[in-house]
Structure 1
Amino acid sequence: METPPKTQTKKSVILDFNGTLFFDTDKNNASWHEVLNTVCSRKISMEEMSRYNIHGRANKAILEHFMERALSDSEAHRLSERKEAIYRALCLEDREHFHLAEGVPAFLDHLKKERIPCTIATAAGKSNLDFYIEHFQLLRWFDADKIVYNDGTVRGKPEPDLYLRALARLNADGGSCLAVEDSPLGTLSARRAGIAMVFAVSSSLGVSAFADTADAVIADFTSPALYEWAAQP
């Protein structure tokens, strides 16, 4: 497990991707619903998926929960890739909404101008990450070697592993870091990693969902709160 250093005090930003930088909750829900209802021995409703709170969890954990058995890494990978292929097709079909969330490019440009290091910490796998890098040209703002994704070696959110790894790759300390998430599992993950400032994007959930784990809830990346944080000494 990579652990962040304790001496770095320079500001940094760690961003979730799905539902945060890209509003895609509907595509993730639809693709999970389709796959789970082909591999499970019973029907899985959208309501049951919502109760389990699938967003932010590792794909293997989701599959094992609904299939009610342990899966080998190879089986989990195969089923996960089936789900993600459906998800990516849905994204490409909906060109109107296939773009970064409102305000994201401007905020990332601002961080770059201010030399505030930032990276992504996502529960997505490598195939989806490559898809995002290609279609959203993410390497304009992010160093590919510093992006943290689900490579099978870390626990998913709400465990702190993804954020701890991101802090280590940025050579940053949680006490001077801002995390931005869209799910309670994600904001809890950031808190458990010792990140001092956590914002939640209300792309699919209301403000009350983050009452215990977020310092602020924003609608998108046009929020002045993001720029106010960046301007603080």
Structure 2
Amino acid sequence: MAPIVLELDAVLFDMDGTLISSTPAVNSVWTDFASKYGLDYNSILNESHGVQTIVSFRKYLPHLTEEERVEETKRFEAGIVPRASELMAQGKEGLEVLPGVRSLLDQLRQGPVNGWCIVTSATNAYASAALRILGPGLGAMPRDIITADDVSRGKPFPDPYLMGAKRLDVDISRCLVVEDAPAGALSGLAAGSIVLAVGTGYAPKLVQAVNPTYYVDDLSQVSAEWKDGKLFVTINQKD
């Protein structure tokens, strides 16, 4: 299959499952909360990835007040990085940079600061902690990082990616949204962006089911180049 070359204004990345993986740590923390509240662990995992934690708690913990759910969200996300550290100390997977990410980000960093950003459903506290730990593997962070604290409606609503494009001062229709989760892909599509789904987080068949514009197994199949101030992204899809 011939490579696809896109001329774009910017690339907007999801974080977890797209740039980094914290799945073992997140799943472990969900185990604690499922046990505490008597929840169906498998149902939570199938529906919570790519969605703001507070939204999941509103669905699964309707008996709590909103203030209590906010506090539980803070406690949940504050527990992810320490749990990841515990797992890594045991020689297990905790936090890692996903394939192809560093190379692609290095290429994007050759252009202007508004050429890319991160748009995550995580809170600022968790995103900052995770990115700080993985800094050596990821390199310098973008000027703009949109988190759950910045929008009232998270993915699958278009608000997060619309805000990302606004922060960068670019046209959302000339942006590539890179996502691993159905909720995130739907958010990018609803915002009017081109959407590239990656198979590094959610089950590939589930994210493909929402009909993203393109799909790759991981970001080693994607490269970026700046020519005369213009951004060109190449997607090498498999046959």
Shared fold (TM-score, shorter chain, > 0.5): yes
Aligned to 2:233: 230
> Partner of 1:186 in structure 2?
184
The corresponding residue for 1:3 is none
> Which residue does 2:3 correspond to in 1?
none
Taking the aligned partners of 2:175 and 2:125, their CA distance within structure 1 comes to 28
1:58 aligns with 2:61: no
SS in 2 for 1:198: strand
Match of residue 154 from structure 2: 156
CA distance in 2: counterparts of 1:169 and 1:139, whole angstroms: 21
Identical aligned pairs, as a percentage? 25
Deviation per CA, 1:207-233: give whole Å up to 9, x if none.
32223331222222211x44495159x
Contact 2:12–2:116 (8 Å) recurs in 1: yes
Q: Does 1:77 align with 2:77?
A: no
Q: Which amino acid aligns with 1:163?
A: Y
Is this contact kept in 2: 1:14–1:120, CA < 8 A? yes
* Residue of structure 2 in register with 1:94 after alignment: 87
Name the CA distance, whole Å, in 1 between partners of 2:64 and 2:155. Answer: 19
What is aligned with 1:46?
41
* Residues 108 and 141, structure 1, Cα contact 8 Å, conserved in 2: no
Shift of 1:50: 3.5
CA distance in 1, matches of 2:42, 2:128: 30
Pick one of 194, 198, 202 that aligns with 2:199: 202
TM-score (norm: length of structure 2)? 0.80
Flag structure 1 segments of 5+ consecutive residues without an equivalent.
Answer: 1-8
Do the aligned partners of 1:175 and 1:194 also contact (CA within 8 Å) in 2?
A: yes
TM-score using structure 1 length = 0.82
Q: String of CA shifts for 1:3-62, please: whole Å, max 9, x gaps.
A: xxxxxx951000000111112223222212312321x2xx223322134x1012222211
Q: Which amino acid aligns with 1:103?
A: G
SS in 1 for 2:170: coil
Question: Alignment partner for residue 109 of structure 2, among 97, 107, 112?
Answer: 112
Give me the whole-angstrom Cα distance separating, in 2, the residues matched to 1:203 and 1:25.
10
**For the aligned residues, what is the CA RMSD?**
2.4
1:142 aligned partner, one-letter code: P
Amino acid at match of 2:142: F
Which runs of 4 or more aligned residues in structure 1 lie more than 6 Å from their structure 2 counterparts after TM superposition?
none
Q: Distance in 2 between matches of 1:10 and 1:182?
A: 20
Unpaired runs of 5+ residues, structure 2, are 1-6, 226-231
